[in-house]
Amino acid sequence: MFFKEFIVVLALATVLYNGVHADHCAYVATKDCAFIPDRQQVCGTNQQSYRNSCFLAKAYCADNTIHKAHDGPCAVTTTPSPVHGSEVALDIFCLDLIYISCPTGGVQICGNDGKFYENVCEFDKARCFHRDLKDDGTNCV
């Protein structure tokens, strides 16, 4: 199972989406959310409780108007503003991506932090820890 997921992550890490980012929803579609150990329910903005963030990410990928309202079942409100569904999908993607070694080579990406990243895989790994990181394309030295 790990090897299959590694290949999927590796393949997705090399695919460009909107010119820069891997398509996180394509990756989330491959996940079997029932086997993710996270059992903390989350509430969607559609007022449906999801077993974990993975199931919510799948819901967002099927309907991009669904976001995370708060942690816990929908009967309890603890977070004042929703978390965008794309962030939840990125979280699921990053859970696996951070544990793989990126391939060498590829097209360098210039981040808005002024650094060059060797390829889209390394860029997406950095985005897992710095969510405001974007492809700048012009300000790297």
Residue-wise pLDDT for 16-45, tens only, equals: 333 333 478 888 999 899 988 877 899 999
Angle between helix 2-14 and 120-129 (nearest 10): 110
Q: How far is CA 122 from CA 14, 27, 91, 92, 137, in A?
A: 10, 17, 16, 17, 15
pLDDT at 48 over 90: yes
Residue-wise pLDDT for 77-127, tens only, equals: 555 677 788 888 888 888 888 888 888 888 888 888 888 888 888 888 888
Quick one: fold of 2-129? Wheat Germ Agglutinin (Isolectin 2); domain 1 (3.30.60)
Domain ranges of the chain: 2-129
